[in-house]
Amino acid sequence: MVEAPQTDEGWFALHDFRTVDWDAWRDAPEHERRRAIEEGVAYLNSHEAVEDAAEGTSAIFSVLGHKADFMVVHFRPTLDDISRAERQFEQTALAEFTEQPTSYVSVTEVSGYVSDDYFEGNKEDIDTGLLRYIEGKLQPDIPDDTYMSFYPMSKRRGEKHNWYDLPFDERRELMSVHGDTGRKYAGKIKQVIASSVGFEEFEWGVTLFGDDPTDIKDIVYEMRFDEVSAKYGEFGEFYVGRRFPPSDLGAFLAGDAVPTSEFGDESHHHAHAHGEGGHHHGEGGHAHGEDGHHHGESGHGHGEGGHHGGDSDDEADETDIRGQLDDLNIYAGKPHGEDVYATVLYSEADADEVFEEVEGLRGNFDHYPTHVKTAVYEANDRDRNAVVSIWETASAAETAAGFLSELPGIVERAGEESGFGTMGMFYTVKPEHREDFVEKFGVVGGLLDDMDGHFDTDLMVNLEDENDMFIASQWRSQEDAMGFFRSDEFRDTVQWGRDVLADRPRHVFLA
């Protein structure tokens, strides 16, 4: 008997498609149109703020072509929440001018292709990046300011090619190969796959998000050549559109371009409300991981996770630390007048293998204006590598961590250890003083070993530039780290560094 993979379900989803009766809209008195817009905006704002449920997310998209005019997407914890959201729209004056030509009901899921440990209850053995990926698949965010493509799909059950006749291991391998194609679009395309088995005619609903609509076309086209799609994929109608904030509903109905200000209206940020203690996946929502995008039964991969850089307590702590460093005349991470954030992951794989993978991801990261730098650093006296990605926002750094957690040999992420991880310290050394700097690090490292509360410190060297070095320390507490920064030894080191460094060092917070 062919083995069916286990599944775990998350939030329920409704893709609510609407057409507008344009004749009725044009003929309606101005006060009726105004009321419809006001009630429509109120409904959309309320649901983007998730005032109707404990957690979830919603958004509105324009839809091109004859199949619909706009689509409202809801993700909620229960099917009853979804039903209520749909019926509440019908109570608005806007609903009087719309019809519902189609809709799609589904539920987010992960399957046994993702991790045996996850389904066997051994969650303590699962990599933290994979856990963040799973959480992101089960409770997805909807990316801001992006194009969207939605389509349903099923696995073929024909006489010649029947997906459900294939052994489990063969299905897993096919999807792994499929995911290799999808990974090339990490940073360009985000996706949400939700199961509709038992709910709809098709078995899955796929929603793709991207800043460039041609990237959506390219990934669907390229993945059609993978065996898992070429032989076993069956697809329904495609819908394409663009997200816009609820405040632009009047402009949309008037035929104006939306979004009117490229999401300049801050009100749209209420879209991602996950409830108390919830998570926010930042810029970029979902990496393609191993599952590519449209093979349905979610293959193995690591995605993004919730960031801790945006919480008010963390921001207050960062401000306090920066202030203390500034009082000590220590540069505290404001290159070019902007705060930057770093995510650091350590790998025990071969440095060249890691670099090859990072180089591909870096090309995608460079499409984002918030990307500052991503590089691979090799430990000076230890057999491991550090992958460092620096961004202008904590959420972007956190999203990058999701992509980077898929790299080979990842063993841990800086900042996940107990205690206090200091800012990453990035130094560009004058070539003629490189050996002096390494020697000085050895001396300072010896001093650190004797300091109360110090766990370890690494000196890492950029594979592409031996004069670019990265230092990160782990301490028992923030106060222990600040004790070192206040010491005469550190002050002397900073003074000495002014002669050997080519640029001012960056002391960057770990995101």
d(CA 208, CA 210): 7
CA atoms within 13 A on the CB side of 166: 20
Question: Please, is 171 exposed, middle or buried when counting C-beta atoms within 10 Å of its C-beta (0-12, 13-18, 19+)?
Answer: buried
**What's CA 455's distance to the chain center, in Å?**
31
Structure tokens at 189: 């395309």
**470 vs 406, 460, 494, CA distance in Å?**
22, 5, 15
**80 vs 11, 13, 40, 193, CA distance in Å?**
11, 11, 21, 20
175 has which bridge partners?
none
Structure tokens at 336: 């070019």
Per-residue burial over 242-259, b if 16 or more Cβ lie within 10 Å, else e, is bbbbbbbbbbbbeeeebb
- Phi, psi for 31 (deg, rounded to 5): -65, -30
Residue with tokens 């008037």: 254
Structure tokens at 362: 């870096």
**486 vs 291, 421, 424, 493, CA distance in Å?**
49, 17, 17, 12
d(CA 196, CA 128): 28
Residues with catalytic function:
151
Please choose, from the candidates 437, 498, 508, the residue with its C-alpha nearest in 3D space to the C-alpha of residue 468. Answer: 437
Residue with tokens 């766990």: 455
Please choose, from the candidates 103, 47, 95, 96, the residue with its C-alpha nearest in 3D space to the C-alpha of residue 71. Answer: 103
384: which residues sit within 8 A by CB, 6+ positions away?
346, 347, 348, 411
DSSP state of 490: H
